[in-house]
Amino acid sequence: MTYDDDNAIVLWPEYFDSERSRSQGRRLPKELCVKDPSLDMIAKGAMVLDLEYRIIEDAAYPANWAAKNGCVRVEKGKMHKAEILPAIGQILVDNQ
């Protein structure tokens, strides 16, 4: 499946940040998170999973609207978001 911006899954760096609590946006257990994940790290994780992606640098996580950390949008179809998040988290931890 090719990348379609209308159906892409949004991955925010806050999902993978070990310094955040669950209520602050972390979506994974701390064992699958790293400190201050970058967009490039998340994009490389998507690349390893053979997912097409697009980096959006000026986007802000809704719960943290003042900080424009950006996001990575990945294609939908090969995997569900619930499968993509821990897979990318493991890649981030392994390449830390």
When pLDDT is cut at 50, 70 and 90, the band that residue 1 belongs to is low
Q: Which domains does the chain have, with CATH numbers?
A: 9-94 (3.30.56.30)
Q: What are phi and psi of 31, to 5 degrees?
A: -65, -20
Tell me: the pLDDT tens digits for 23-72?
999 999 999 999 999 999 999 999 999 999 999 999 998 888 888 889 99
Q: pTM of the entire structure?
A: 0.90
Give, in degrees to the nearest 5, the angle at Cα 79 between 76 and 85: 95
Mean pLDDT of the region 7-26: 94
Predicted confidence at residue 76, as pLDDT, reads 83
Residue 53 three-state SS: strand
What are the b/e assignments for 10-27, b being 16+ CB within 10 Å?
ebbbbbbbbebeeeebbb
Q: Is the pLDDT of residue 77 over 80?
A: no
